[in-house]
Structure 1
Amino acid sequence: MGLWNTLANLARWTMVLPVVGLLLGAFYFAWHALLEAASALGQGLEAALPALVGAVDLALLSAVFLIFGAGLFELFIGKLEVPLDNVLAVESLADLKNKLGQVIVMILVVKFFEKALAFKPQAALDFLLFAGGVALLSAALWLARAKE
């Protein structure tokens, strides 16, 4: 029985490695989001908007890494005692999946609007397809919100 407990503890603590890697990735993307937003501030509004959308994309990617790392820590190692308990608290793998899914939907929204900034319609059908994309995006957000 003692050997199994030792192996279980060893397996549990090996999860520290991916958690540390994910947290380092979160800091990396957060740093680059800050740099991108700071570089956009010196530009005019027309030029700053795509850079700021890119900064939001990087910030959301940082959030994915942070939520995933904190979720793995809570599932395998121990409870986190942080003031952002409601955001980072993970009770099960399904809970972690739901939290990550919501952030990933937001990343897709930002990517859609990043592409929309470069959108150059040529015909009426282009506008119709763009409106359909916005409608599908709205439906995805509504479904993600209704799942809570």
Structure 2
Amino acid sequence: MRLETLAHLIRWVMLLPVAGLLLGAFYFAWNAFTEALKALSHPLEEALPALVGAVDLALLAAVFLLFSLGLFELFIRPLALPMGNILAVESLSDLKAKLGQVIVMILVVKFFEKALDFKPQSALDFLLFAGGVALLAGALWLAKAKE
């Protein structure tokens, strides 16, 4: 058996993490759905933190979905989706960039989650927290600009 043939067969091992990550995506999506449903039964003041948490879970589901389908496209075969492939991944750096964008969105949601409970002692406390998120977003922008 030639090395190329063996490498072609071994790539199917990647179905294991793809399946696990897809299960994780369904898990987080289901929890986001149930969290949103529970939030709708409360008044707005109580529902808002729960809905922000549901958005956080939905973004985690998106990370797992992007990563699993990206690995599938990189190692198994390209996906042919009828609506056009918005999830197209051509390289590991392309997958990293897509995941990085979603992770920045998770950080933004986490910022709003913390901001709901945050009791700043001064305006500087709040400004420093927002500055940290801005620095992370700037770092991602710089990393994408280098590609």
TM-score by length of 1: 0.88
Can you give the 5+ residue segments of structure 1 that lack an aligned partner in the other structure? none
Superposed, which structure 2 residues align to 1:107-122 within 5 Å?
107-121=106-120
SS at match of 2:59: helix
Question: What value does the CA root-mean-square deviation take over the aligned residues?
Answer: 1.7
2:129 partner amino acid: G
* Aligned residue number for residue 85 of structure 1: 85
Counterparts in 2 of 1:16 and 1:114: CA distance versus 1, 3 Å: same
* Aligned residue number for residue 102 of structure 1: 101
Deviations 1:79-101 (A, max 9, x none): 00122512x11110011111111
Structure 1 residue 139, shift from structure 2 partner? 4.4
Within 1, Cα distance between the matches of 2:55 and 2:48?
11
Percent identity between matched residues is 62
Within 2, Cα distance between the matches of 1:69 and 1:39?
29
> When the two structures are aligned, how many residues end up with a matched partner?
143
Are 1:10 and 2:9 matched, yes or no?
A: yes
* Aligned residue number for residue 128 of structure 1: 124
SS at match of 2:73: helix
2:31 partner amino acid: H
Structure 1 residue 142, shift from structure 2 partner? 5.0
TM-score by length of 2: 0.88
